Chain A
Amino acid sequence: MKPGHGEIVLAEGDVDVPEEEQELIEAFRRELDAGMWAAVPTEGLAGRREAELVKSFDEVPRDAERVIFFPRAAGGAAPAGR
């Protein structure tokens, strides 16, 4: 997710193909180095959908379809308004 643009595909590949996995790892590191958070949409124990924050590529489940990067959260200080 990129402010002002929305969703952008950064990299695509198969983790079982070493070259493609390397590309995915590099894209992952690049985003985390840029201060992004990485989340993997998952399904919880009760069958409810939820997300899992991951801090390294090793934490990404091998069968994950995608990793979503979004800007790191910060305390908002917007002016009061309704």
Chain B
Amino acid sequence: MALPLGTAAVLLLVLFFELVRPRLSRTFTRARVAIARAHRMHAVESYDPGRERRAEQRARALLRSCVDDRDWDMYSELGFLRVNGPVGASAGEGPAPYAYLIYPHKPIVAYVPATGELLNEYCITFPDHTKPFGSSRLPHSDDVLAKWMAITADERRLIGEANMHLPGRQVDPARIRRDLARLARWERERSERELGGARAA
């Protein structure tokens, strides 16, 4: 008696499921679409187009408060910073034996100031270690400041952490040569302005 009743119950269940399956399927599809739409709407509502701009403004103010006036002028007018090496050594006569160019979100480029010869690219990033599967980047000026702080504080350590490549892997050597020419012109004009100011005084 129990076996036929059980079989009948199973059959009824299967039949019932077959009857409601199309409706269930439609309901699930509608729910999936609604959830996806809600996620899209949330993403649109939470996107703040001014956030990155404000972050960059704060980063520029922080960078300006940390570096020398001359370095700040260099960065704001040319878009990169130059740090002479070896870092920490007192400036002697003549050009430094080597120097670094610090670009935002680009490798640090080492070169010889006397000849303009490019030495290496040092690829370095500052990832958010709390988000190992992908994180936002630092604002441009924060990236420059982080490199500047790390290199002026511990040049060897930063270079040790970096991935070293030959010049031209990520930064176009022609661009660097143009930037070095711009830097030389900028320094010449600045020196002339300073000399003119000193004479006028």
Contact = CB atoms under 8 A, between A and B. Distances in A.
Interface of A: 1-7, 34-35, 37, 39, 41, 44-46, 48-53, 68, 70-78, 80-82
A37 B138 contact: no
A3 B129 CA distance: 10
A7 B67 contact: no
B112 interface: no
B32 interface: no
Contacts of B169: 80
B42 interface: no
A59 to B, nearest CB: 12
Contacts of B149: 39, 41, 51, 53, 68, 70
A52 B153 contact: yes
Contact of B59 (A6, A37, A44, A71): A6
B136 A3 contact: yes
A55 to B, nearest CB: 11
Contacts of B172: 82
Interface of B: 51-52, 54-56, 58-59, 62, 65-68, 71, 87-88, 90-91, 107, 123-130, 135-139, 142, 145-146, 148-150, 152-154, 157-158, 161-163, 169-172, 175
A80 B166 CA distance: 12
23 contacts: A2-B138, A3-B127, A3-B136, A4-B55, A4-B135, A6-B54, A6-B55, A6-B59, A34-B129, A41-B65, A45-B90, A46-B91, A48-B68, A49-B71, A50-B87, A50-B152, A68-B66, A73-B150, A74-B124, A74-B126, A74-B161, A75-B123, A76-B107
Contacts of A70: 126, 138, 142, 145-146, 149
Contacts of A45: 90
Contact of B142 (A7, A53, A80): A7
Contact of A75 (B51, B124, B129, B139): B124
Given A6-B55, A51-B66, A46 B90 contact: yes
A52 B54 CA distance: 27
B55 to A, nearest CB: 3
A76 B170 CA distance: 11
Nearest to B128: A3
Given A44-B88, A68-B62, A77-B163, A1 B146 contact: yes
A4 B137 contact: yes
A11 B47 CA distance: 27
A41 B145 CA distance: 11
